[in-house]
Amino acid sequence: MKLSIIIPAYNEKKTIKNLMEKISLIDIPKEIIIVDDYSSDGTSEILAEIESDEVKVFYHERNMGKGAAVRTAIKHITGDIIIIQDADLEYDPGDYPVLIKPIVEGRADAVYGSRFLGGPHRVLFFRHYVGNRMLTTFSNMLSNLNLTDMETGYKAFKREVIQGLNLRSNKFGFEPEITMKLARSRFVIYEVPISYYGRDYSEGKKITWKDGIAALFHTLWFRFFD
């Protein structure tokens, strides 16, 4: 099986080279599709240097958000399994074999890498933890799933699954949108434990409480109206 790794990137000059080195160590047939979401810190120049036959790079002409970057990448994937990889190194490419195993074995259509199932993780913000659990619980109530980490940035899919979901969100609403649409289509979802190396805001973390409020709205919208 061939793996397509989608990397939305926005102002990740400090981590993108290190991430690419880690991905290169993963001995799985793969392609890497990076979408630069109008970075202004020099990320674009670095991506121009590392672009190759295996690493395809696409550039947005304005900042549109993670969901829009994922949609751009989906148009160009050729792999059998798709992984969405944030560029900030909070998630470890060394977890790829664990993340894709249920799909490779034919048991899952999608796999969520959960930060709350026992993997090693950096100790950070209590309020973020509570907010995440509240959003996941709310999502579970509407979707009738029993996820532990709906907002995880590590998700894997069969290609035909993610290409068939008609995604619409531009920003972080992508996470609740895809969860609601997977549930409504009754795809088989698995969760696996992953490691998590979270950043604080001085290190470039971007998500805020406003994104949490937006996630509540997106969960309702994509459950009942979209």
pLDDT confidence of 15, banded at 50, 70, 90?
very high
Express each pLDDT in 51-64 by its tens digit.
Answer: 999 999 999 999 99
pLDDT at residue number 214: 85
Higher pLDDT, 40 or 130: 40
pLDDT at residue number 39: 97
pLDDT at residue number 97: 97
Express each pLDDT in 119-129 by its tens digit.
Answer: 766 655 677 77
pLDDT at residue number 69: 97
Rounded distance, CA 143 to CA 131, Å?
18
Average pLDDT over residues 7-29: 96
pLDDT confidence of 209, banded at 50, 70, 90?
low
The torsion angles phi and psi of 160, rounded to 5 degrees, stand at -65, -25
pLDDT confidence of 66, banded at 50, 70, 90?
very high
- Separation in Å, CA 112 to CA 75, 132, 188: 22, 14, 11
Domain ranges of the chain: 3-224
**Could you give the count of Cα atoms lying within 13 Å of 22 in the half-sphere of its Cβ?**
18
Average pLDDT over residues 91-112: 97
Rounded distance, CA 15 to CA 192, Å?
25
Q: What is the pTM of this model?
A: 0.91
User: Residue 208: left (phi > 0), alpha (psi -120 to 50), or beta?
Assistant: beta
pLDDT at residue number 199: 59
Domain 3-224: CATH superfamily, name plus number: Spore Coat Polysaccharide Biosynthesis Protein SpsA; Chain A (3.90.550.10)
Query: What amino acid occupies position 146?
Result: N
What is the torsional sign of CA 69, 163, 147, 85? negative
- Average confidence score pLDDT of the chain: 92
pLDDT confidence of 205, banded at 50, 70, 90?
low
Q: For tokens 């969960």, name the residue.
A: 219
